[in-house]
Structure 1
Amino acid sequence: MAKVPTTVITGFLGAGKTTLIRHLLQNAQGRRLALVINEFGDVGVDGELVKGCNDEACPEGDIVELANGCICCTVADDFLPTMQKLLDRPSPPEHIIIETSGLALPKPLVKAFQWPDIRARATVDGVVALIDADAVAAGRFATDEAALALARAADPSLDHDSPLEELYEDQLACADLVVLNKADLVDADTLAGVERDIDGETRSGVRIVRASHGAVDVAVLLGLTAAAEDDLDARPSHHDSEAEHDHDDFDSFVVTGGAVADAAPLLGAIGEAIEAHDILRVKGFVAVEGKPARLLVQAVGPRIQHHFDRAWLPEEARRTQLVVIGQKGLDQTAIEAALVRAVG
């Protein structure tokens, strides 16, 4: 029997992985897919956003959520049993899509495909790394040594070897395809500069494609036939010498509350909290009084997006839940107090 191809979709917090997967499901072209979603935070925001995108291509029963925060750290406990269950089905999926959390290293996950029970039945068709063109252009993961030297001189207390930059570099180093997403948010010259920087971080021959709102041709994403599990030595990682990888450098917590009379004060409070506490990511759902639909909130750095995504289901509790993610040392008490005041 042919091995089931598996695509690993990686990328830093807020790069647009879930949006890309929604586009993929809506344009599956008859493929039967299974989806494994790993989230950092107890609220399954990403899983909720893809359910129902294309029930024919990927029924809800074929969407598996691993809310442990880091799929690369729990390979034996979570990922391998999940893969075995999918592959043991009487009619296995034709293609498996794995969305890692924005803080996961892709290489340990690819290495798991060398596990004998998996290796005989599945292969890594390709590792797709999503890059937020606007965030990189703003210098959030700068690799320019001169720029870093200037920043160091301006503020000696800055950690310029931060795990954020290492994660970014590891994701690029493992990629078979790079999707430069949110290309519509930057001008042509800036975009070309970002591409040149990315090209310097990737292996020879890795293709870079531009995208807006995660819209990439399915034929480009699937069918890379990289067999990445056989090519690990060519995919260097900052963490190759470590016995294990953890996320002690990051904090994550959930803020909950009831319905808000008006979303504007809460959105304003989120923006103020991000600026005051250097929060990396906020995502979740907000219940707004008098509105039949839930308000999806997605914040990446200072950029906050929101829209009503679907109606509340009769069995759902109409409440507000927001996942907050940042580097170690977040003042959880102050952030929660500010957001809870806005929720009321």
Structure 2
Amino acid sequence: MASCGRSTMAAFASVAVYSCMALCLMSTAVAAQLRVGFYSYTCPTAETLIRQTFNDSVQHTDDIGADLLRMHFHDCFVRGCDGSVLIASANGNTAEKDAEINQTIEEEAFQVVDNAKAKLEAACPGVVSCADILAFIARDSIAHYGGGFYDVPAGRRDGRISIASDTSELPGSDLRLGQLTQNFARKGLTQADMITLSGAHTIGIAHCSAFASRLYNSSSSSGVDPTLDAAYAAQLKQQCPTAGSDTEVQMDPPSELGFDNSYYQGILRHRGLFTSDQTLVSTPAAAAQVNLFARNSAIFTRRFAAAMVRMGSIGVLTGSNGEIRTNCRVPN
């Protein structure tokens, strides 16, 4: 069972520990209601239809899978894996989808989910949740780019609430190891899970604004973060000539569209793009895991799949809770 973290108030330590244990046990019990093959009888073609939709989309936009994987992560870390990231803003409410941190997710990625949902509603009306679509399509994205194919436990139901300010729960690219560890612990995930899931940065792009402070605002005399490889920093400065540049750059240049362990190899060469990447070697224990993944792609692939399943069970709605949205962008 994953640790839920520690109370910062010693006077309430015992109460906090027991409360945390209770929350973790409840979360484990709910997650246990998810199961592989959930739609075997109610919608046996569900996973096939979702995979076909993804395969069609990636033919037109080869990096769309990175956004779809990111959407699943952003969904699970805000209100749990309930499809809330897909809900559109309406009636004066700004939804998660339109929060600043989600502005860089291409609209086309949301359309892929819409297309999958339309196919599922035609085949099995009112059966497959939008939250499960995200979990399946994230897995298909990983497999497409060369990562491992793994079984996805399903049975999530969709939430009805989506508020942009809730995205403050998402970890930022400027966080240090301790902050990241605490952020993931609040979701019932360990530091090892966090380091593993960070490997998703082996695919996709980033905007200069997400790491400009490492190039132009460092306290060093050059203005460049001293933990950043000098040659790599010079390359990034060419792509991002000012702190205000909003150019897109590859997160893992050696394998932009390859889901592999080169992300960790880059960190060992001080080529982690974000502060949150390079910080993964700031303690011996964390660095040991980075080294392991950098040396052994098979171990990384296996552990990444397991971490995705754990992440996919955060705060899930099951049974009679939530709903099965007919349109992923609008609560019923």
TM-score (structure 1 length as normaliser): 0.29
Q: With CA pairs under 8 Å and 6+ residues apart, which has the higher RCO, 1 or 2? A: 2
- Structure that is richer in strand per residue: 1
- Structure that is richer in helix per residue: 2
